[in-house]
Amino acid sequence: MTTTILITGASSGLGAEMARQFAAGGHDLALCARRTERLEELRAEILAAHPDRRVEVAALDVNDHDAVFRVFHGFTDALGRIDTFVVNAGLGKGAPLGTGRFDANRETAMTNFVAALAQVEAAMEIVRSQQGGHLVMVSSMSAMRGMPRTMTTYAATKAGVAHLVEGLRTEFFGKEGYDFTVLYPGYIASEMNDGVAAAENKMMVSTEKGVAAMVAAIEKKRGVAHVPALPWAPLSVVMKHAPLPVFRRLI
């Protein structure tokens, strides 16, 4: 069955690849990001491969909170209904706390948490009004536990946005037609992590493979998914419960 999927941060990386894979799976798309030229290129690419798909695009800086609401409602007006909202836009910037880079950590917190909150608010206005829908939050494996150094703020924001969706799942538990998914990606190649350390690269998977695991979890409407499942599902347990000396060695 054709459904319509809205993806933020869709101009590159995981967002763009999700768009490609969802289109190949028969879904219509609402794509938004800051870089409209990339969105137009992606739209043309998708329509060339799948001319029967509907692909709407719009410019959006998620830190412009009023624009988030305008764009989400604009997509709904254009497409009639949005079945799935994927909150994907994010930032990987950060610095160790107390080292004079509050500006970097504030930017990460504003983009990854406050802007994500705006996206959830806008999505849920529509979900409530249409009496159903699927909200997907792209979190991170770093949300499993407090992380050190440059990852501290980033990990905290990813834990925070996961709890937004967990709270909604609790609120709507047992109500037919309301679905909530939190994705915890591990190391998936993307523009955001081009500079990761070689040790981390040993567990890095291609964008295509990693996103395929994300798309499968979304289509199955799983509540929680560590993706790809191997090695990240078992590692999530280790990350949460390992004694601190062990955890420190792991990271």
Q: How far is CA 104 from the centre of its chain?
A: 20
Residue 38 contacts residue 11 (beta carbons within 8 Å): yes
SS3 of residue 119 by DSSP: helix
CB 248 within 8 A of CB 57: no
Q: Which residue type occupies 192?
A: M
Residues contacting residue 92 through CB under 8 Å, at least 6 positions apart: 108, 154, 192, 193
**Phi and psi (nearest 5°) for 219?**
-65, -30
Cα angle at 224 between 110 and 191, to 5 degrees? 50
The whole-angstrom separation of Cα 141 and Cα 77 is 35
84: β partners: 5, 134
Give the residue numbers marked as catalytic: 154
* Measured distance CA(108)–CA(102) in Å, rounded: 10
Angle (CA) 42 12 160, round 5°:
135
